[in-house]
Structure 1
Amino acid sequence: MFKYSSEGNKIMKIAILGIGNIGKTLVRELTKVGHEIKVANSRGPETIDAQILASGARATTAEDAVKGVDVIILSIPFQRLSTVRPILGGVPEETVVIDTANYYPARDGAIDAIEVGQVESLWVIEQLGRPIAKAWNAIGARSFAIYGKAPGSPDRIAIPVSADRPVDKEVAMRLVDETGFDPFYAGSIAESWRQQPGSPVYCTDLKKEEMAAALPTAEKARLPIRRDLVAGVAQERFGAAKSNPDTDFLIPLNRLVFM
């Protein structure tokens, strides 16, 4: 028997693998609406900060986290996604898997298939051996942490979602909405390059109507050039220690270069 929230929505069992800047906010916001959250990292449950668990999430191993859940959210570095496949081996096909990661070759190491044009999320599907949805990759960690708004707010920021299976699309868009942002269906996984780094909708904090206008203007060949340009400027200004540059600096820069 499923549990339901006071609004009549089904309470889901969700595993979040990775509790970096995006993962922490996912835990905070999804526990607020009553979902049952298990969290795991690569170092073991005993290393997870108690503050992350204060909202009611439970720390466990990655192997245990993915058991008996409706949704698995991967919030881990892109270069480590290929290590997740064994953990997902016994996960039922109907379980929704959502990836939040982005490919940056200067950080992740060059991946030949992507360098010659393979869509990042199609590469991820090959590594995991199962379908995914793509969400929360196109918003900066600081914007995600502080700019969530109630549905219907006029200044609510949109987050693009790509998926192939109807269930993946439905669940990912619902969860994006529940984290405080307008979900915007960006199309199939094959078209998910439109929300990759360098795209007009990548970390530019657009509202839904703005995203609808910007998404079709993305030019696939130019994305890596623009991605690396902004990454280089951020590196020069903030250095390697600052992985989450100030929103007041980064959003205008992204809009200038990506749009």
Structure 2
Amino acid sequence: MTSDTFDDRVILITGAGSGIGRAMAIAFAKAGGRVVACDIDLANAEQTAAEIGDAALAVRADIADEASVAALVEAALGAYGRIDVLCNNAGIMDTMALPADIPIEQWERVLRVNLTGTFLVTHAVLPHMLGQGRGAIVNTASEAGIRGGAAGAAYTASKHGVVGLTKSVAWAYAKDGIRCNAILPGPTMTNIATGGSFDPTGAARLGPVLALGESLAQPEQMADAALFLASEAASFVNGAILPVDGGWSAA
């Protein structure tokens, strides 16, 4: 992939303040793109943008809130006039609680951010991509999107939903020049699971499955996969659900 692959392209990335999202922002910028680094933590988004330099704009947005998403898209269009690539990367973890044990409020919050949030940003960006006659969407799903025992009930259901949404968008807009694919990260060195405690029953039950994927990937390895799916090298790749897990899903 040449360094000018994304020249004059605008890439909107949610969850760009840390982890995989930050790695994506830096990778797309290095490939010549102009990046809108979105995060619910503005300071983190600004840190990512500062690392990139003039080719980046930091925006705070809560993807679970429709008005916040609308303001995010407006800010991106106001700054750059277009959105060529959307990376729906923002998400939160659950506590690994099993279905009988998960609090309803946790279920609703995880689904709201991971699935509805991904939909809200996609829903807001699609009209602009349709107007351009082209666009690429890369969703960050998860290994939990194709397994039943890689996370708790809420996270698992949300990421299965992201997989389904990815396929639906790919099918709906294939003839409109818009592609939609998803990466399924395996265990990756990020901070998504920090700041909370795990349900002991769920963690004990899921532990043997999680141990199969104990080798941690670096966020940059996920970013490379996203870069490929958004690039012209993948121009005929649409609706793909790509595990990026070192072979964990092949076990």
Query: Comparing both structures, which one devotes a greater share of its residues to helix?
Result: 2
Please report the TM-score for the alignment, with normalisation by the length of structure 1.
Answer: 0.48
Please report the TM-score for the alignment, with normalisation by the length of structure 2.
Answer: 0.49
